[in-house]
């Protein structure tokens, strides 16, 4: 087995210098680091993660908390994971997915054993019990999302408020005045989920400001639930000409349900999917018009914000909001007269 001594001999440096390079425990000049890393590569030296953790008193492991046992995974959520994992690897950390519920006790079990250096929260509720527990224990953390009052906390998040305004601007610009909002319900999603609650609140305010009547529906996060939502929509508000959908997994079912009712999209009804991805939307027929979720960007920025905290480059309280970007598909058009 190749040892640090072998690497030191090949790179013509001391064993201590090799250790400093491997563990990032002391500053090593770029030229020396390059020589050591080249020797490691030539000899096939593999870092011993356990020894490294013992030497630095850090595991260089980040836990991404996502309640996968409570909430159905979507294609957009996977984009968050993959972006975060790649960024963590690029920064010298390992990211692990921790699929536990949004329960404070389960967070304590994770952090009390010293298994991770920090925590990245997803599916953040307006009043999230995990946040209070992490603050109490002094565990470094950042959020992809935000609580009701995120002052003093580090987070990156979708700008749900301005995204909702932009979505309504687009639909009313096409001439729509009967615009419904379909979101996930509390049984299939995390209760009081930040983006959902903020979108609903902004939708109500904006519809009132524009002198329009709001119609809000909820359904489960499955295609079958979306199909049933089409029946409910036509029973409650048959004059609707456009629907904003903040429920990626139900959007396909909504399209099928409308087709089953004899409603053409976009001829009779326009569909605008909010917070989805082009890859997922392209599967639909017709391809969905989107407000694209900045999943790749937020996954990267969330990890960067947490690592900055872990390495002492930033204090708590930094935050960034990113709007969804418009992507035109074939599911929207001006309403028929």
Per-residue pLDDT, averaged over 129-154, amounts to: 91
Same domain as 199, residue 77: no
329 within a domain of the structure (yes/no): no
331 within a domain of the structure (yes/no): no
Same domain as 277, residue 203: yes
Q: Which of 43, 46, 42, 89 is nearest to 64 (CA)?
A: 89
CATH code where residue 20 lies: 1.10.260.40
Q: Sorting pLDDT into bands at 50, 70 and 90, what band is 317?
A: low
Higher pLDDT, residue 37 or 245: 245
The alpha carbon of 27 is separated from its chain's Cα centroid by a whole number of angstroms, namely: 34
Same domain as 276, residue 182: yes
Quick one: pLDDT at residue 50? Answer: 44
112 within a domain of the structure (yes/no): yes
Quick one: pLDDT at residue 143? Answer: 95
Higher pLDDT, residue 318 or 197: 197
Quick one: pLDDT at residue 54? Answer: 42
Same domain as 185, residue 140: no
Question: Of 5-9, 178-182, 223-227, 289-293, which range is least confident?
Answer: 5-9
CATH code where residue 305 lies: 3.40.50.2300
335 within a domain of the structure (yes/no): no
Q: How many domains would you assign to the chain?
A: 3
Quick one: pLDDT at residue 71? Answer: 66
Q: Mapping DSSP to helix (H, G, I), strand (E, B) and coil, where does residue 272 land?
A: strand
Q: What share of the chain is helix, strand, coil (3-state, %, to 5)?
A: 45, 15, 40
Quick one: pLDDT at residue 74? Answer: 73
Same domain as 66, residue 35: no
- For the chain, give the percent of residues with pLDDT over 90: 56
Q: Is the pLDDT of residue 114 over 90?
A: no
Same domain as 237, residue 144: no
CA 327, CA 291: separation in Å to the nearest integer?
6
97 within a domain of the structure (yes/no): yes
> What is the residue-averaged pLDDT of the chain?
88
Q: Is the pLDDT of residue 51 over 70?
A: no
Per-residue pLDDT, averaged over 54-59, amounts to: 56
Q: What is the dihedral of CA 308, 313, 315, 318, to 10 degrees?
A: -60
Strand order in the sheet with 94-98: 94-98, 61-65, 118-121, 141-144, 155-158, 319-322
336 within a domain of the structure (yes/no): no
332 within a domain of the structure (yes/no): no
Same domain as 166, residue 154: no
Same domain as 229, residue 83: no
Quick one: pLDDT at residue 85? Answer: 92
Same domain as 238, residue 186: yes
Question: Of 67-71, 201-205, 329-333, which range is least confident?
Answer: 67-71
Q: Is the pLDDT of residue 148 over 80?
A: yes
Quick one: pLDDT at residue 190? Answer: 77
CB of 69 closer than 8 Å to CB of 101: yes
In eight-state DSSP terms, residue 102 is S
149 within a domain of the structure (yes/no): yes
Q: Is the pLDDT of residue 70 over 80?
A: no
Same domain as 299, residue 288: no
Quick one: pLDDT at residue 5? Answer: 84
Quick one: pLDDT at residue 115? Answer: 78
CB of 311 closer than 8 Å to CB of 99: no
Same domain as 149, residue 169: no
Quick one: pLDDT at residue 282? Answer: 82
Question: Of 68-77, 136-145, 203-212, 227-236, which range is least confident?
Answer: 68-77
Domain around 301: 61-158+295-322
Higher pLDDT, residue 107 or 132: 132
Same domain as 196, residue 169: yes
pTM of the model: 0.80
Q: Is the pLDDT of residue 153 over 90?
A: yes
């Amino acid at each position: 087995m190749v040892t640090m001594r072998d690497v030191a001999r090949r790179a013509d440096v001391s064993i201590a210098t090799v250790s400093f390079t491997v563990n990032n425990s002391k500053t090593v000049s770029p030229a020396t680091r390059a020589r050591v890393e080249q020797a490691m590569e030539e000899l096939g030296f593999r870092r011993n993660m356990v020894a490294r953790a013992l030497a630095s008193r850090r595991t260089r492991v980040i836990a991404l908390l996502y309640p996968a046992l409570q909430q159905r995974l979507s294609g957009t959520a996977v984009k968050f994971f993959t972006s975060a994992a790649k960024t963590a690897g690029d920064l010298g950390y390992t990211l692990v997915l921790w699929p536990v519920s949004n329960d404070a006790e389960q967070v304590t079990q994770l952090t009390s054993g010293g298994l991770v250096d920090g925590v990245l929260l997803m599916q953040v509720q307006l009043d999230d019990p995990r946040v209070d527990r992490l603050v109490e224990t002094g565990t470094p953390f950042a959020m992809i999302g935000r609580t009701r009052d995120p002052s003093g906390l580090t987070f990156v998040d979708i700008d749900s408020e301005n995204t909702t305004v932009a979505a309504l601007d687009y639909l009313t610009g096409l001439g729509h005045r009967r615009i419904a909002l379909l979101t996930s319900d509390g049984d299939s999603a995390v209760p009081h989920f930040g983006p959902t609650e903020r979108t609903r609140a902004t939708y109500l305010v904006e519809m009132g400001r524009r002198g329009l009547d709001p119609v809000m529906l909820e359904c489960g996060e499955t295609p079958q639930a979306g199909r049933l939502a089409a029946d409910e929509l036509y029973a409650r508000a048959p004059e609707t000409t456009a629907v904003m959908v903040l429920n990626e997994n139900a959007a396909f079912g909504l399209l099928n349900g409308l087709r089953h009712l004899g409603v053409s999209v976009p001829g009779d009804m326009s569909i605008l999917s909010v917070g989805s991805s082009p890859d997922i939307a392209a599967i639909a027929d017709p391809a969905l018009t989107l407000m694209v979720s900045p999943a790749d960007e937020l996954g990267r920025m969330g990890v960067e914000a947490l690592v900055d905290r872990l390495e002492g480059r930033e204090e708590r309280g930094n935050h960034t909001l990113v709007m969804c970007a418009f992507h035109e598909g074939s599911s929207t058009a001006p309403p028929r007269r």
